């Protein structure tokens, strides 16, 4: 008989859970060895692009996976009643709704899908389906290019991060926005932009906020990426990836209340040493360099610890590269300030800093045409931020690089760019522990951290996944079909959905 361990404080356990697929309720958890995760199932949805984001509906015991493969534009439905033996049982075509589906989220028998327009700069849609019958329940117009969708923990709201990317020629650049959908009010929607902060541009920029590109425009250049929601469903936070910031949203009033720039990571500081050359004939040679990382997070997750809200970010980095505008430059091609870089000639060599990709939009501090500082994309880490103050309270520094090298998966060809490229992050309660799972796109792995104290995460293990993990999903023991927590990883490089389980204690 399975031994179920009831927590003494199940309410606290529920509040600490960050899985937006779960119905808030009194829950049990099962004690498991978080260092023992092993793969128990793998399913190929069709090769490259065929498995990006997955969500789980406990009422039907089904996974819903985004499939944007070479000939696909659909959501695959996967029978998850037996997680060790999974199979596709249905597909929902997205063709009737416009362009590609970018994200899915499930809540209590409903599945919301974020679907871009055939014209990516036009308004997109959130479409809600019945998880049991696959019937369309509601179509809601949102902002341009809805890139991520999530439910609030109480299920009363659906939120969409509308990225609003420009077209290749930069002749059409829609505003970035966030849509707040009131499920209980017949899916009434309010789409909000960032106009309230236009007057704060100078102050925000001084703290690391980025607005840049042809015909620089505050509203059009903001690009929301990923959303997380507080346990009480009152507050949301959205990453503004290209802008290097996090915005706070009051869900009940439908207003954006704060923008927190994230600043920069100093690679000359002890513990932040990185490998910045893919042509130094060495794999994972980590040194200190006179350069900065721009955090530019993709995924974000929330938890509350002793009354303080914390935000976890996967600091991927993302450059703007379009026909009409590309910000990426290699250090070897730049004119470096001789005072800031007295050994510039040597530094620009391929075995030193020459191969490092940096942004051309930052670094000329005195406007004289040369670079006084160098800013690369991403931070090769995950970070923890105080959600109230916006202050950094923890960064994994170069630990993800080091652990990837130890596992034998470090990709030296990415040293000059964003290295391991942390993209996804999710948080779950496993027994008495709070655990973070960080998806590393360029080394095909997930890093597992004990974050029971969110200000002092402890590395536990790194596990191999499919090629380019895009989505990492935590399923709690109380919602799992086997009454044990599970990890589902969706990888866009090879189209694999993999399931992992830990050993019970």
Q: Does some domain include residue 154?
A: yes
Q: Does some domain include residue 473?
A: no
pLDDT by residue (tens digit) across 397-424?
999 999 999 999 999 999 999 999 999 9
pLDDT at 281: 93
Phi and psi for 221 in degrees, rounded to 5?
Answer: -85, -10
pLDDT at 349: 98
Task: Return the closest-CA partner of residue 106 out of 145, 51, 66, 49.
Answer: 66
Range of the structural domain that residue 459 is part of: 55-318+378-425+448-467
- The structural domain count of the chain equals 1
Q: Does some domain include residue 144?
A: yes
CATH number for the domain harbouring residue 257: 2.130.10.10
Q: What is the CB neighbour count within 10 angstroms for residue 234?
A: 15
Are 18 and 428 a contacting pair, CB within 8 Å? yes
Query: Residue written as tokens 């809200």?
Result: 309
Are 127 and 117 a contacting pair, CB within 8 Å? no
How far is the first Cα of the chain from the last one, in angstroms, to the nearest whole number? 14
pLDDT at 29: 78
pLDDT at 70: 83
pLDDT at 27: 64
Are 156 and 189 a contacting pair, CB within 8 Å? no
Coil, helix or strand for 410?
A: coil
Instruction: Say how far apart CA 331 and CA 359 lie, in whole Å.
Output: 9
Are 198 and 210 a contacting pair, CB within 8 Å? no
Q: How far is CA 329 from each of CA 58, 211, 214, 294, rounded to the nearest angstrom?
A: 47, 18, 17, 15
Intervals of the chain under pLDDT 50:
1-26
Q: What is the DSSP string of 222-257?
A: --EEEEEE-TTSSEEEEEETTTTEEEEEETTTTEEE
Q: What is the CB neighbour count within 10 angstroms for residue 32?
A: 20
Q: Does some domain include residue 360?
A: no
In this prediction the pTM is 0.94
Q: Which residues pair with 261 in a beta bridge?
A: 245
Task: Return the closest-CA partner of residue 196 out of 215, 218, 212, 217.
Answer: 218
């Amino acid at each position: 008989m399975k031994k179920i361990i009831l927590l003494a404080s199940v309410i606290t356990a529920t509040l600490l859970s960050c899985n937006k697929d779960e119905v808030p309720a009194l829950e049990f958890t099962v004690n498991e060895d978080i260092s023992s995760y092993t793969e128990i199932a793998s399913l190929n949805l069709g090769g490259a692009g065929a498995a990006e984001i997955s969500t789980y509906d406990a009422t039907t015991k089904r996974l819903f996976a985004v499939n944007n493969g070479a000939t696909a534009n659909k959501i695959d439905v996967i029978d998850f009643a037996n997680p060790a033996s999974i199979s596709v049982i249905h597909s929902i075509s997205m063709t009737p709704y416009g362009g590609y589906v970018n994200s899915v989220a499930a809540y209590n028998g409903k599945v919301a899908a974020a679907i871009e327009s055939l014209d990516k700069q036009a308004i997109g849609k959130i479409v809600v389906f019945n998880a049991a019958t696959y019937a369309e329940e509601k179509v809601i117009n949102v902002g341009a290019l809805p890139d991520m969708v999530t439910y609030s923990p109480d299920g009363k709201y659906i939120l969409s991060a509308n990225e609003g990317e420009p077209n290749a020629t930069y002749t059409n650049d829609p505003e970035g926005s966030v849509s707040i959908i009131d499920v209980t009010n017949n899916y009434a929607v309010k789409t909000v932009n960032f106009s309230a902060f236009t007057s704060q541009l100078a102050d925000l920029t001084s703290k690391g906020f980025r607005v840049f590109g042809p015909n620089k425009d505050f509203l059009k250049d903001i690009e929301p990426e990923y959303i997380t929601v507080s346990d009480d469903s009152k507050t949301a936070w959205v990453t503004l990836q290209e802008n290097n910031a996090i915005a706070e949203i009051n869900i009940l009033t439908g207003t954006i209340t704060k923008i927190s720039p994230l600043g920069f990571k100093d690679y000359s500081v002890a513990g932040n040493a990185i490998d910045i050359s893919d042509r130094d004939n060495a794999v994972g040679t980590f040194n200190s360099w006179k350069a900065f990382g721009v955090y530019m997070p993709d995924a974000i997750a929330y938890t509350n610890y002793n009354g303080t809200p914390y935000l976890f970010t996967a600091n991927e980095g993302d450059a703007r590269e379009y026909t009409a505008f590309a910000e990426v430059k290699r250090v070897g091609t730049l004119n470096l300030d001789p005072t800031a870089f007295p050994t510039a000639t040597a530094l620009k060599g391929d075995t030193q800093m020459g191969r490092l990709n940096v942004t051309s939009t930052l670094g000329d501090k005195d406007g004289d045409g040369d670079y006084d500082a160098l800013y690369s994309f991403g931070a090769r880490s995950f970070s923890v931020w105080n959600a109230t103050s916006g202050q950094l309270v923890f960064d994994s520094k170069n630990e993800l690089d080091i652990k990837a090298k130890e596992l034998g998966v470090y990709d030296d060809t990415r040293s000059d760019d964003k290295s391991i490229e942390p993209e996804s992050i999710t948080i779950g309660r496993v027994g008495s522990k709070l655990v973070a799972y960080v998806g590393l796109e360029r080394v095909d792995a997930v890093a597992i951290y004990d974050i029971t104290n969110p200000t002092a995460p402890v590395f536990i293990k790194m596990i191999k996944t499919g090629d380019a993990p895009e989505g990492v999903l935590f399923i709690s023991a109380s919602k799992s079909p086997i009454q044990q927590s599970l990890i589902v990883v969706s990888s866009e490089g090879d189209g694999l959905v993999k399931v992992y389980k830990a050993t019970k204690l």
